[in-house]
Structure 1
Amino acid sequence: MRLWSRELWRLVWPATLGTLVGWLLVTPGLGLAAGLVLCLVYHLRQLRALYRWMTLHPEQEPPAASGMWGELFDQLYRYQKRQRITQQRLRAILARIQESSEAMRDSVVMLDRHGDLEWWNSAASDMLGLQAAHDRGQHITNLLRDPHFVSYFKAQDYREPLTLTSPIDERRILQYQLTLYGDDECLLMARDITRLHRLEQMRRDFVANVSHELRTPLTVLSGYLETYSDLAEQMPPRLGRGLSQMQAQTSRMQNLVNDLLMLSRLEIDQGGEDHRPLLMETLLDGIRRDALALSHHRHEVTIELECHAQLVGSEQEIRSAVSNLAFNAVRYTPEGSHITLRWKTHSQGACIEVEDNGEGIDPVHIPRLTERFYRVDKGRSTETGGTGLGLAIVKHVLLRHEAHLEIDSHPGEGARFRCVFPAKRLVSST
């Protein structure tokens, strides 16, 4: 306030003095105007000094001035000094980030809110073929033109990575991951997973080949065991018990081989050729009969149809997935339990539920249930003849149908397995 009062007096004194001089010369108005002009000239000179300092010599100390202009110069100088220190610190941080990104083996590409390229490291030049001289400012889809990447970029659902071949070398397999940050800007990272991809392919081929080769000796063993079982009454009791155990283990081995072959086919085959609208009542009724046969009618299995739409998919694969859920419910619930096969609407489309009132599952196990060979109770799973691959098959089938698995269960409260299908997979039954 004192500063503004002082500046006001600086304006009043020249005006008053000019008015007095003009009054003595019988022209008070002219004197007042002359005093105001002097004030205006002073402020214009200070404004000119500010302009020259800010545009020509901003790094130098501000011009000398008093009063309000001196305070303004000092405040601007201090603010400019703080901003200069902040800029230097940010430049140092940015330089360290760029240096660390350059040291990474993974590609790092920064995109603006429009998807145009701003910066990338040397690994991106090697993997993606980006060139600083030509590609800066280009839209990412102008350089990565694979339709799968374009769809992935436009969908803006980056929870899962995308695996594609390198745009400059088809022998290299890259995994792309987009992350949003800031003002809808994107960070694109690409990893070279060629070695992992080859190892995974070797694993798939090994499992498929071994499983296929095991089928023939198992079929021979099973045939001979069936022949010997017809003569079980003529054998000593000890041999009869051994024969029964051999048949049970051979059957279990055949189930394991069949599940491994099914998983291999689901992983290798793209599928989609046999997709057609499925009549859910007929499908679930067939699964119900199979579950009752497995249970020897010791469980109660019912069907509830709350949705009248048809599901577009592979009948063989959907039957396999739901049968695995139903058979698990039979195997892992006590006799007399009630199992429900339900086709109902869902907020995302529709779902198939397999619900039982058995012992339930501790929620700690639920995240790992779809892993291969994962068992909640290893001893009980062996006794019931499970292979440990059923839920892995369910997971792969659902992925091929753009669906997902939801599991609700608590100890003593039974279990509910829900296969959720998107609305685009449904067609009207009329």
Structure 2
Amino acid sequence: MGRLWRREFWRLATLVAAGVLVGWPFAAIPTGIAAALLLCLAFHLRQLHALYQWLTQRAQEEPPAASGLWGELFDRLYRYQKSQRLTQQRLRSTLLRIQESSEAMRDSVVMLDRHGALEWWNSAAEQMLGFKPHQDRGQHITNLMRDPRFVDYFHGRDYREPLTLPSPIDDSRILQFQITLYGVDERLVMARDITRLHRLEQMRRDFVANVSHELRTPLTVLAGYLETYSDMADQLPPRLSRGLSQMQAQTDRMQNLVNDLLLLSRLEIDQGGRDDGPLDMAALLEAVRRDAAALSDGRHVITVECEDPRALVGSEQEIRSALSNLAFNAVRYAGEGRHIVLRWRLRGDGACLEVQDDGEGIDPVHLPRLTERFYRVDKGRSTETGGTGLGLAIVKHVLLRHDARLQIDSRPGRGATFRCVFPAGRLREIQSAQRA
């Protein structure tokens, strides 16, 4: 490129020298130079006009013929245009493949701009969500998806968990929505049809609830007769007395299991909120402490710490059930002579209810599965302590109904802390709570 510029410079110098030579005999050197410069300007204007015509009218054709610097410029622009066209073709091909693959998906795919307006969606979204190609493009998604739960989910910007809702055009279809942020605050909305899974889950809940309910009557009859026979234990042979005590223990365990299953079924089916009210956390902690102390029978040191004066808005029966399950688990599994603390304390984003012990602790490999039904870290020890394996599942569902989450911190030999974290919206000052 430097060689071309030098050539243009010498061409201009030669032209000016020619103008000087032509004007010299007539004593008009400035005029000769001006004429030479005008000739040079006319040449460059002609080349510039050719460039403009090519770029605006014949960009797909070969560039105009030119030499020197202009020829190099035409060639570079032409190569750049060709590379840009190839890049655009590749991008169009990629976009077409993405759209074709999205069209082939059974799940709805909706692309939103940074304002939340609809940019593109596949045919599944038309079937599931009722979007119309020629009417809804550019509409804000909350103008079409007006369910308050979806609106709160969309504006909440917390998309870690999916949202389950009925289809806006067919209440019999259950959809699971998941929103992903990408680009400059743009969103990708995906919706899956989980109607079949929802019905299977409903059948499972109904089955568990019905079977548990049906088991209550025979268990009550069996427990009644066993209690009667226990009163006559002195009249029975020793061999039968031992069998009678084992049957009583297993009957009590079965009754506890049925009661926990019924409670879980109610928590899953009932939407909750009807019996919510401000709870005196100090009194609640003390009541649970007394129950845990009775279960411990002096084998543990159980204390209460109430650091947050605010009241928690929720169901007293459910919160007490969750706290009792955590406290009873600590009594059963921490080990004798351990210290157990029931604590209600302030937290940056709300407040939390904690059950902490300095017992044997839990291997972190088990923590993700602790809230699964019937999951046991040590099956043999759990059977001996009389646990049903449903306590933490009950805690999880109670917290979900109270907009809270469960955190578990534990290491082998360092004890365990079970933390129920409640949002600030669930807290009330104790004065206003008492007036309410």
Task: Verify same fold: TM over 0.5.
Answer: yes
State the Cα distance separating 1:23 from its structure 2 match. 4.2
Q: Is 1:196 equivalent to 2:197 in the alignment?
A: yes
Counterpart of 2:267 in structure 1 is 266
Report what 2:89 is aligned to: 88
After TM superposition, give the deviation of residue 130 of structure 1 in Å.
1.5
**Percent identity between the aligned chains?**
74
Match of 2:17 in 1: 16
Partner SS state of residue 361, structure 1? coil
Matches of 2:115 and 2:16, distance apart in 1: 58
- What displacement does 1:199 show? 0.8
Report the CA distance between 1:424 and its aligned residue.
Answer: 1.7
User: Are 1:353 and 2:354 matched, yes or no?
Assistant: yes
Which one-letter code corresponds to 2:59 in the other structure? Answer: P
> 1:162 corresponds to which residue?
163
Taking the aligned partners of 2:32 and 2:403, their CA distance within structure 1 comes to 88
The unaligned stretches of length 5 or more in structure 1 are none
Find the residue that maps to 1:248 and give its secondary structure.
helix
Distance 1:338 1:147 in 2: 46
**Alignment correspondent of 1:129:** 130
What is the match of residue 38 of structure 1?
Answer: 39
Other-structure match for 1:55: 56
Partner-residue secondary structure (3-state), 1:135? coil
1:198 CA displacement? 0.8
**Counterparts of 1:22-421 in structure 2 under 5 Å?**
22-421=23-422
Structure 2: runs of 5 or more not aligned: 432-436
Spell out, residue by residue over 1:18-57, the C-alpha distance to the aligned partner (whole angstroms, 9 max, x if none): 3443343333333322222212211111111111111111
Query: How far has the Cα of 1:393 moved from its partner?
Result: 0.6
Q: Distance in 2 between matches of 1:17 and 1:357?
A: 102
Query: Quick one: distance in 2 between partners of 1:221 and 1:346?
Result: 48
Displacement of 1:114: 1.7
Query: Kindly tell me: are residues 148 and 24 of structure 1, through their superposed partners in 2, closer, same or farther at Cα, counting changes over 3 Å?
Result: farther
CA apart distance, 1:12: 2.9
Q: Which SS does the other structure have where 1:277 is aligned?
A: strand
2: CA distance, partners of 1:424 / 1:99 = 45
The alignment partner of 2:135 has SS state of helix
After superposition, give the CA deviation of every residue in 1:400-419 in whole Å (9 maximum; x if it has no partner): 11111111111111111111
CA distance in 1, matches of 2:105, 2:400: 32
Aligned partner letter, 1:313: G
Q: Deviations over 1:298-349 (max 9, x none)?
A: 2111111222221111111110001000000011122211111111112221
Deviations along 1:156-193, whole A, 9 cap, x unmatched?
Answer: 22111111111111111111111111222211111111
How many Å separate the matches in 1 of 2:64 and 2:167?
60
For 2:109 and 2:335, the matched residues in 1 are separated by 55
Counterpart AA for 2:145: L
How far off is 1:15 after superposition?
3.1
One-letter code of the match for 1:77? Y
Q: Which moved more, 1:349-358 or 1:365-374?
A: 349-358
In structure 1, the residue matched to 2:434 is none
How far does residue 200 in structure 1 lie from its aligned partner after superposition?
0.8
> Which AA in structure 2 matches 1:267?
E
Moved more, 89-98 or 337-346: 89-98
Deviation at 1:123, TM superposition (A): 1.0
Cα deviations by residue, 1:99-123 (Å, 9 ceiling, x for unpaired) = 1111111111112222222221111
**C-alpha distance in 2, partners of 1:131/1:429?**
52
Which secondary structure state, in structure 2, belongs to the residue aligned with residue 374 of structure 1?
coil
Q: Given residue 423 of structure 1, which amino acid in structure 2 is its aligned partner? A: A
One-letter amino acid of the counterpart of residue 184, structure 2: D
Q: Which amino acid letter does the alignment assign opposite residue 189 of structure 2?
A: L
Q: How far 1:253 sits from its partner (Å)?
A: 0.8
Give the superposition deviation at 1:361: 0.4
Secondary structure of 2:184's partner? coil
3-state SS of 1:113 partner: coil
Per-residue CA deviation, residues 202-231 of structure 1 (Å, 9 max, x unaligned), is 111111111112112211111111111111
Per-residue Cα deviation, 1:379-420 (whole angstroms, up to 9, x for no partner):
111111111110011111111111111111111111111111
Instruction: Kindly state the Cα deviation for residue 4 of structure 1 after the two structures are TM-superposed.
Output: 1.6
Distance verdict in 2 for CA 1:323–1:4, change over 3 Å: same
- 2:109 is paired with a residue whose SS is strand
Aligned equivalents of 2:89 and 2:132: distance in 1?
A: 28
Distance 1:116 1:277 in 2: 41
Structure 1 residue matching 2:335: 3-state secondary structure: coil
Give the Cα separation in 1 of the matches to 2:411 and 2:257: 28
Aligned equivalents of 1:143 and 1:7: distance in 2? 65
**Paired letter, 1:249:** Q
- Structure 2: how far apart are the matches of 1:71 and 1:65? 8
Shift of 1:63: 1.0
TM-score (norm 2): 0.96
Instruction: Provide the C-alpha distance between the structure 2 equivalents of 1:107 and 1:281, rounded to a whole number of angstroms.
Output: 49
CA distance in 1 between counterparts of 2:425 and 2:166 reads 29
Structure 2 residue matching 1:132: 3-state secondary structure: coil
CA distance in 1, matches of 2:417, 2:225: 41
**Aligned length, in residue pairs:** 430
Deviations 1:244-298 (A, max 9, x none): 1111111111111111111111111111121111111100000000001111122
